Structure 1
Amino acid sequence: MRYLTSSFILMSVFCWFKTKAEFFTSIGQMTDLIFTEKDLVNSLKEYIKAEESKMSKIKRWAEKLEALTSTSTSDPEGYLGHPVNAYKLVKRMNTDWQELERIVLQDPADGFINNLTVQKQYFPSEEDEAGAAKALMRLQDTYKLDPDSISKGKLPGVKHSAFLTAEDCFDMGKIAYNDGDYYHTVLWMQQALKQIDEGEDTDISKSEVLDYLSYSVFQLGDLFRAIELTRRLIALDPTHERAGGNLHYFEALLEKEQHEGKVNKTAFEEPKTVSGIYERPPDYLPEREVYEALCRGEGVKMTNRRQKRLHCRYQDGNRNPRLLLAPIKEEDEWDSPHIVRHYDVLSHEEIETIKELAKPKLARATVRDPKTGVLTVAHYRVSKSAWLEEEDSAVIVRVNQRIEDITGLTAKTAELLQIANYGVGGQYEPHFDFSRL
């Protein structure tokens, strides 16, 4: 099976017709959103410019008429004794004020609103926002990042600065909460609360955060902390519709557990940092820890003795005529099983052509349901993919031929050339790469 993967870089070709949602699954299509936002900003600036021009005209009108009315009202009969003044008054009331009305009623926002209306049909959906948030949490878990570092934009390997507001953290927590993920709810609600406590200006109240936080820690089994947080919530908002009932329920449950001997604590512990209390709950994937360790570069280490058996070389495909004058760079990555890496197989121009061919065809990557055999999307495969045929371009013909030359295999029984484009936190979890027909 052959795969050609490529990180889609900045491109200005819009391909909305293929898919409307699931932007988070493909960086290639998320880049289009950058240009959409830039277009909207330009449109907004045009609106501001037109609005300022409109107000400037109205201001000039007001200043001119203020001077006129000041003179005319001080001596109305004398003012109208001049026929030119009489004529101009009639003209102003019949014509000029109507023109002013037209200027005032003219809405410079029409162009911006029309543009926004057109573009909104291509905006990301709630599904995209939730998908992007979950992807950020997936990166958080995989690379063992704490919410504070993410909030401050302190991420490894990034070149642009970014930060999350308390409201952003709160929204992250709500998405986790709505998904029944109380572990991440606690992490992000705690971060939102921390930033509010540090004095960040926000519309999010502490009581809103504590409402989610107290119930989530209860769901994680921390009854003592749930009671402590609920009491803080009631102190801030004595009329909160749920807090009183929750506190009564939590305290009754604690009393029952103490009576049954399930807990022996009689005093509340001091609040601790959330990340120091709660461990990430296990999930369905047995290989989760190993899989994520590999992502962090913490895989099995090669011994020095085995490392010495690995080499790099120029490979001519057993004296393949097409590779004699242009051999392929080949490097051993692993000895058993034998894994090699090939360098400079495709030119920059070929890569760009393949990306342009693939982009209109990108669709959410699917998996085959083991029970029904039907192709479906899955949360453990977050990407978009496309399949290219030799009829699409002479470049595909050349690439297929090159793969045959390098591997010594035939493309006649192989799949089509697959292009995979991963989005925010894109992944394909460990899986058996075969299909039950």
Structure 2
Amino acid sequence: MDLIPGCLLVMLLLSTLVLGHRPLERSHSLSVVTMVPLLELERKLIDNLENYTKALEQKLEIIRSQITVMRAENEKGGRNAIPYLSNPLNGFSLIRRLHVDWIKWGKYMEQPVGISQIKAFGSWKNELPTQLDLWDACAGIVRIQSLYNLKIADFIDGCIHGKQYNVSMSAADMFSVGHHLAMKNVSSGAVQWLQEVPQRLQKELPSIPRHLLIAEVDVLRLLAEAHFKEKNYSKALPLLHNCLKLQPHDARVLRLWKSTKDLIENEPNPTPQENKEQKVPIVNTFKTSCNGLLEKPTRLHCFYNFTTTPFLRLAPLKTEQIGLKPYVVLYHEVLSAREISMLMGKAAQNMKNTRVQSEKAVNTNRERTAKGYWLKKESNEMTRRITRRIVDMTGFDLADSEDFQVINYGIGGHYSLHFDYFGFASSNYTGERSHHSIVLGDRIATVLFYLTDVEQGGATVFGNVGYSVYPQAGTAIFWYNLDTDGNGDPLTRHASCPVVVGSKWVMTEWIHEARQIFIRPCLPPAKGTSTKS
């Protein structure tokens, strides 16, 4: 599959700038494409600040030019005051200047500068990212670093998985991540991030304006509190001493210092806190899968699919087996660069926070960090053509299946381990079913298209069986969610690993079972066979 032409990508990014002129859904960091308008917003803010400096410079230029003239006249009189003032013109001028001109100078000094620029900034404040946006962005950075076991010292300097990028994190960036972890009570993680801040802070002192600097006392206090929660009292105490040197009367620090000192005296060898997050089995499975540490299937092959529909006799599909149990295949070159560009361009202007669907509810949570757009299969000739192609790939009837969902992931964008099926046929299913689900049935299969390559991360992994598929523009993976008896296949539990570097776009089609009754009839599974029909 040819790469998308650069000009098409540029056109796509430029098209998203129209978002700056319409209300945006928050959570900018959940999608790379919805962060594009933030660059335009920052450009406007920089231009506005530059205009503010010009207004200041204009006032300074007027003042400086007059200071030269006024000082020359004052020094002329000061060198020989009596002869100077003996001339009535000089004496008169001095009295008039002090009575009239200096009153005007006082009023001139009081005049505010840059009123229009200040008003302009106020009009853009509602477009700035919120606290929730920053929280999501911090969570994405933490997800990347922790899940891929990246060394923080390398990560903050732009070295990711051995590749050096021309970017690094500032002390303020690092402090925000540490503060985020501290607020989540992940004190061990907070310590790792915050202990890197003081050194970076010292490097930045000569170049960062004072009003933008992170206060050293805030860093030391937060780091001390994190050590205290980890029962590292001996490390917390010197940090608190340094805090008190900077702010001797800080009551909060004084209380913590006293508590720490008492605990050291009464509990000389405390047991450090364990990192409970790593003890969750599903977290470990997700992490292991995304790092490629699971055993991968063997005896797989590639072939041309001529048989699913008669049309494939003329245009067979390049097919690669990913695994046999469950049966998962990867189709190559099933979307053109033009189709990809059109899909992304259509979705980019209408992105919404993705919601995890279940039969009981539709909820917005952070199991999935991305934004998406639902595109009707009958929208235009292109979507109808793609629908016919999916029929060729799967052999299924798509008349009652769901619309396409086009998704773009953001900073550390991911989707935790999950099933695509609802499990209606399971004896364990006790929830109420909607009329929609009764008529259409469960999701029998999934087709997942990759619209872009991803430089690092972003793999689709099947955690129970060790399958890993990395995004490649124009490809699509297909699998059955249900066994031939209609029950959900637990081996199809899968996840989208966090994107490290790149913009991951995918498009999903979920196929329902009702219309497949004669295409893939319900049969008891044969022993020792795969779920392939």
Structure 1: how far apart are the matches of 2:329 and 2:336? 20
Which residue of 1 is the match for residue 480 of structure 2?
none
Distance 1:97 1:328, change over 3 A: farther
Task: State yes or no: 1:251 paired with 2:277.
Answer: no
Distance 1:250 1:213, change over 3 A: farther
Q: Which residue among 222, 232, 236 is the counterpart of 1:229?
A: 236
CA deviation string 1:47-97 (max 9, x = no partner): 3234333433443344455567778994785759xxxx99xx99xx99x99
Which residue of 2 is the match for residue 332 of structure 1?
321
Distance 1:412 1:210, change over 3 A: same
Asked whether the equivalents of residues 365 and 385 of structure 1 are also in contact (C-alpha less than 8 Å), the reply is yes
> Where in structure 1 are there 5+ consecutive unaligned residues?
1-6, 264-276
Asked whether the equivalents of residues 25 and 426 of structure 1 are also in contact (C-alpha less than 8 Å), the reply is yes
Partner-residue secondary structure (3-state), 2:289: helix
Distance 1:122 1:314, change over 3 A: same
Asked whether the equivalents of residues 221 and 239 of structure 2 are also in contact (C-alpha less than 8 Å), the reply is no
Structure 1: how far apart are the matches of 2:345 and 2:309? 33
Structure 1: how far apart are the matches of 2:58 and 2:218? 43
Which residue of 1 is the match for residue 137 of structure 2?
132
CA apart distance, 1:315: 5.3
Tell me the TM-score normalised to structure 2 length.
0.63
Task: State yes or no: 1:27 paired with 2:32.
Answer: yes
Distance 1:347 1:51, change over 3 A: farther
Which residue of 2 is the match for residue 117 of structure 1?
122
Asked whether the equivalents of residues 227 and 236 of structure 2 are also in contact (C-alpha less than 8 Å), the reply is no
Structure 2: how far apart are the matches of 1:226 and 1:400? 62
CA apart distance, 1:124: 0.7
Which residue of 2 is the match for residue 347 of structure 1?
336
Distance 1:299 1:77, change over 3 A: same
Structure 1: how far apart are the matches of 2:89 and 2:381? 86
Which residue of 2 is the match for residue 313 of structure 1?
304
CA deviation string 1:9-34 (max 9, x = no partner): 73442326454421121111112111
Structure 2: how far apart are the matches of 1:215 and 1:311? 56
Partner-residue secondary structure (3-state), 1:320: helix
CA apart distance, 1:413: 1.7
Q: Which residue among 364, 381, 395 is the counterpart of 2:382?
A: 395
CA deviation string 1:339-378 (max 9, x = no partner): 22223322333222222322333221122478xx232211
Partner-residue secondary structure (3-state), 1:237: helix
Structure 1: how far apart are the matches of 2:389 and 2:127? 39
Task: State yes or no: 1:299 paired with 2:294.
Answer: yes
5 Å-filtered alignment, 1:31-430, equals 31-64=36-69, 74=84, 79=89, 109-156=114-161, 160-193=165-198, 195=200, 201=205, 204=214, 208-220=218-230, 222=231, 225-234=232-241, 237=244, 239=248, 240-251=253-264, 253-254=266-267, 280-282=275-277, 285-303=280-298, 306=299, 309-313=300-304, 317-320=308-311, 324=314, 326-368=315-357, 373-390=360-377, 392-430=379-417
Structure 1: how far apart are the matches of 2:397 and 2:115? 59
Structure 2: how far apart are the matches of 1:346 and 1:99? 72
Asked whether the equivalents of residues 211 and 243 of structure 1 are also in contact (C-alpha less than 8 Å), the reply is no
> Where in structure 2 are there 5+ consecutive unaligned residues?
1-8, 423-430, 434-533
CA deviation string 1:317-348 (max 9, x = no partner): 54317x82x54433333333332222332233
Asked whether the equivalents of residues 173 and 185 of structure 1 are also in contact (C-alpha less than 8 Å), the reply is yes
Structure 2: how far apart are the matches of 1:357 and 1:404? 23
CA apart distance, 1:161: 2.2
Asked whether the equivalents of residues 48 and 117 of structure 2 are also in contact (C-alpha less than 8 Å), the reply is yes
Partner-residue secondary structure (3-state), 1:128: helix
Q: Which residue among 14, 19, 38 is the counterpart of 1:15?
A: 19
Asked whether the equivalents of residues 381 and 428 of structure 1 are also in contact (C-alpha less than 8 Å), the reply is yes
Distance 1:387 1:361, change over 3 A: same
CA apart distance, 1:284: 7.7
Structure 2: how far apart are the matches of 1:78 and 1:252? 83
CA apart distance, 1:105: 6.8
Structure 2: how far apart are the matches of 1:380 and 1:184? 20
Q: What do you get for the CA RMSD once the two structures are aligned?
A: 4.0
Tell me the TM-score normalised to structure 1 length.
0.75
Task: State yes or no: 1:431 paired with 2:418.
Answer: yes
Structure 1: how far apart are the matches of 2:225 and 2:372? 40
Structure 2: how far apart are the matches of 1:133 and 1:167? 12
Structure 1: how far apart are the matches of 2:121 and 2:402? 42
Report the residue type matching 1:310 in the other structure. H
Partner-residue secondary structure (3-state), 1:10: helix
Partner-residue secondary structure (3-state), 1:342: strand
Distance 1:99 1:400, change over 3 A: farther
Equivalent pairs, count: 394
Structure 1: how far apart are the matches of 2:47 and 2:142? 33
Distance 1:42 1:312, change over 3 A: farther
Asked whether the equivalents of residues 368 and 375 of structure 1 are also in contact (C-alpha less than 8 Å), the reply is yes
CA apart distance, 1:40: 1.6
Which structure has the highest helix share of the two? 1
Structure 2: how far apart are the matches of 1:55 and 1:191? 41
Which structure has the highest strand share of the two? 2
CA apart distance, 1:384: 1.3
Asked whether the equivalents of residues 185 and 213 of structure 1 are also in contact (C-alpha less than 8 Å), the reply is yes
